[in-house]
Structure 1
Amino acid sequence: MPNLVLIGYMGTGKTTVGKKLAKRLGMKFVDTDHEIERVTGTTIKDIFDKYGEIRFRSEEKAAIRRVTRDDNLIIATGGGAVLDSENIELLQQNGLLVCLEAKPEIIHERTKRKKNRPLLRTENPLQKIIKMLAEREPFYGLASFRINTSNREIDDVVEEVGQIFVSYRDNRER
């Protein structure tokens, strides 16, 4: 059974959609950020604070290597996981990449109260979001499907992603 891989910027709904869809489809849900925290015994924020982004990306790559060994998973990646070509290759090997996206203002609204977002600890988080979205656009463009979650009910997004994935899975099994 193939995996469903949710990519996209932070605050677009990857974890929320992934958990609900996994429950609906009877699949296991894995969040690569949670996998990193489980294995390292520390938070993403602490990894960034103590060791920096390079160490975090190394842990992220190791987590992706681990989770992509299995199948029949719904995998939510960190927003920058797609910046590494090896990660993309591993995620695509047995998975359908679906990018969840949202308008920068919506992302800012969804993330502004969360203090565990190391990359947004800046004077102007909205400007940082806009800049990072532009930089990551080519990588998010590698997804087979893109779904905008701005101003949408989670259940509607779950339904749309579910229909796409079930159709993909059924076509692969024929």
Structure 2
Amino acid sequence: MKNIVLIGFMGCGKTVVGRRLAARLGLKHVDTDREIEKVTGKTVAQLFAKDGPIRFRSEETLLLKKMDGKRGLVISTGGGMVLNQENVELLKTDGILVHLYADAQVIYNRVKGKRERPLLNRGDLKKRIETLLEERAGVYDVAELTIDTGKYTLDEIVEQIIQYLRERKYIQ
């Protein structure tokens, strides 16, 4: 079975949906940010602060190359993973890309009390979210399926993904 790869902006639910989806399907869940933290011994925030975004993005690509050929995973990616076309190609090789999104207000409500997101720790949070969403317009269009996580419950989102996978004969 191909991997199920969750892509989308930060705060759209990739990790929580990924965990639940993996549990429902009996698959292993991989969160790319957590894997990078294990390998580097630094949090994502520390990597961005000490080594910069270029280093972090290179760690994402290295991780995907190490995962090349592995199948049957549910992968929750970092919000910027698909900014690099090489990453998109690596993910598509063994994966079905699912875009989880939400509007700026929903994202703001989800992340406003959290400070571990380095790209959001500058200036007015709501404006920063809106700016980044505008800058990334279209980058998530590489996905086969898109779901607005602001409109559905966790279980409804997982069920939509499973239904899509069944309809496309990716799973039984």
TM, length-normalised to structure 2: 0.95
* Partner SS, residue 137 of structure 2: helix
Structure 2 partner of 1:162: 162
The separation in 1 between residues aligned to 2:111 and 2:170, in whole angstroms, is 37
Instruction: Provide the alpha-carbon RMSD of the alignment.
Output: 1.5
Does the 8 A contact of 1:29 with 1:74 survive in 2? yes
Whether 1:101 and 2:101 are equivalent positions in the alignment is yes
Separation in structure 1 between the aligned mates of residue 135 and residue 43 of structure 2, nearest angstrom: 25
Alignment size in residue pairs: 172
Following superposition, the deviation at residue 18 of structure 1 comes to 0.5
Instruction: Work out the CA distance in 1 between the residues paired with 2:165 and 2:42.
Output: 33
Letter aligned with residue 80 of structure 1: G
Confirm whether residue 122 of structure 1 aligns to residue 122 of structure 2.
Answer: yes
Distance 1:52 1:84 in 2: 16
Gaps of 5+ in 2: none
Letter in 1 for 2:93: Q
Matched, 1:82 2:82: yes
Q: Does 1:146 align with 2:146?
A: yes
| Structure-to-structure mapping, 1:46-85, within 5 angstroms | 46-85=46-85
TM-score with structure 1 setting the length: 0.94
1:10 corresponds to 2:37: no
Instruction: Quote how far apart the aligned CAs of 1:48 are.
Output: 0.7
Deviation sequence 1:68-126 (CA, Å, 0-9, x none)? 33100011110000000000001011111110000101101101111100000022111
Distance in 1 of aligned mates of 2:124 and 2:43: 24
Of stretches 97-106 and 59-68 in structure 1, the one that deviates more from structure 2 is: 59-68
Conserved? CA contact 1:4–1:165, under 8 Å: no
TM-superposed CA distance for 1:42, in Å, is 1.2
Preserved CA contact (<8 Å) 1:99 1:145: yes
Deviation, structure 1 residue 171? 5.2
> Once the two structures are aligned, what percentage of the paired residues are identical?
45
Runs of 4+ residues over 6 Å off in structure 1: none
- Distance across 2 between alignment mates of 1:120 and 1:171: 36
CA distance in 2, matches of 1:171, 1:142: 18
What letter corresponds to residue 68 of structure 2 in structure 1? Answer: T
